[in-house]
Amino acid sequence: MDVLQLMDEWGPEKVVCVSDRRTGMKGVLVIDNTARGMGKGGTRMSPSVTVAEIARLARVMTWKWAGVDLFFGGAKAGIVFDPSSPGKEAALRAFARKLSNEVPREYVLGLDMGLTERDAAIVQDELSDRGAMMGAPAQLGGLPYDELGVTGFGVAEVADELIAQRRSSSAGKRIAIQGFGAVGAAAARRFAELGAVVVAVSSVHGALVDPDGLDVTRLLDLRASFGDLAVKEYGPVQALGAELRASCDVLVPAAMQDVIDADLAGELDTTLVVEGANLPTSVAAQEVLAARGITVVPDFIANAGGVVAAAFGMDARYSPFPVNPETVLDAVSSKLRANAAHIVVEARNRGTTTHVAARELAQERVLAAMKLRGRVA
């Protein structure tokens, strides 16, 4: 595609495509907008990564940082490679080397789909810089996001806050979660701690639906042993999509983008959608859900636990003192709860969807920074 077609009044400011013939690695870095700070965002590895996909996600990061009012810029990176390949480490090291001009001066990598805490350690080793990538293991002074489950934890905290705003409690509420990876699993754990009943989960291998509730502890134990196969090990699975159509009080799409269109939005049997994944609903779906009275917490508000944690990591990346995980979780909870409640009120006051209200608020903050820096008149 023509990269120039990706550019608008917000960005991207820089698109860097790299490749390595020896490993077969191809990759892209998109720095979208740095008016509020240097580029910071996750790096994903998948055989299907495209420039357009990464640009789209980098824009989400611009709004996400501004939405939580933290001073970093939107950026994202992607590596076209199979994360299950034995050549993963070599490809990752090649990717890091190729971006040594940008990392960590202009962009700091984070964890996303296909990468783990060990991969963060590898990038730090390749560039001989603890500040090159966030999410490294605690043994290397990092803040282990996946182990803490900060994003999924934040998703559950957001749901709990909006339930409380309705003068109710999460205890006994039915939760359906699409995806049982790092975000979905952590969300399920926190929902169970809050007394909610998880009635559906899914992975690429199928969906589990039980109106009486699934055994979250058993599911988490199975995930520790079998990964994505946990759902099949738990019991008979249904076709994917059953988890989205399950009757529930809270639906958490926490897998991939573009999973809920306008037609499916008209079928959902829920009162609250909390977007754990990036870009899971279409604009048309958001309008349908709003018309049906179903509250939606936008992705860059609901799943911002990772960026709050990343801000702690960025602040401490060269410090010899470890970050206190409890401090991080407390900050994720307070920041995301307040933001989610604020966006629901803003949407009501502006007479629009929560997505539009949240994006307008983020854009106002980014535009103000662009004006102060003299980037726009």
- Which residues, 6+ apart, have CB-to-CB distance to 78 below 8 Å? 27, 28, 43, 44, 45, 46, 49, 50, 53, 54
CB atoms within 10 A of CB 153: 25
- Which residues, 6+ apart, have CB-to-CB distance to 168 below 8 Å? none
Rounded CA separation 339/320 (Å): 32
CB atoms within 10 A of CB 212: 7
Is 76 assigned a catalytic role? Answer: yes
Beta strands in the chain (DSSP E): 14-20, 25-33, 39-46, 73-80, 107-111, 174-178, 197-203, 206-209, 250-253, 272-274, 295-297
Handedness of CA 322, 325, 330, 331 (dihedral sign): positive
Reference 339, options 366, 315, 358; nearest CA is 358
* Contact call for residues 286 and 352 (beta carbons, < 8 A): no
- Which residues, 6+ apart, have CB-to-CB distance to 316 below 8 Å? 143, 322, 323
Catalytic residue from among 76, 88, 173, 335? 76
- Which residues, 6+ apart, have CB-to-CB distance to 164 below 8 Å? 170
Query: Any idea which residues carry the catalytic annotation?
Result: 76
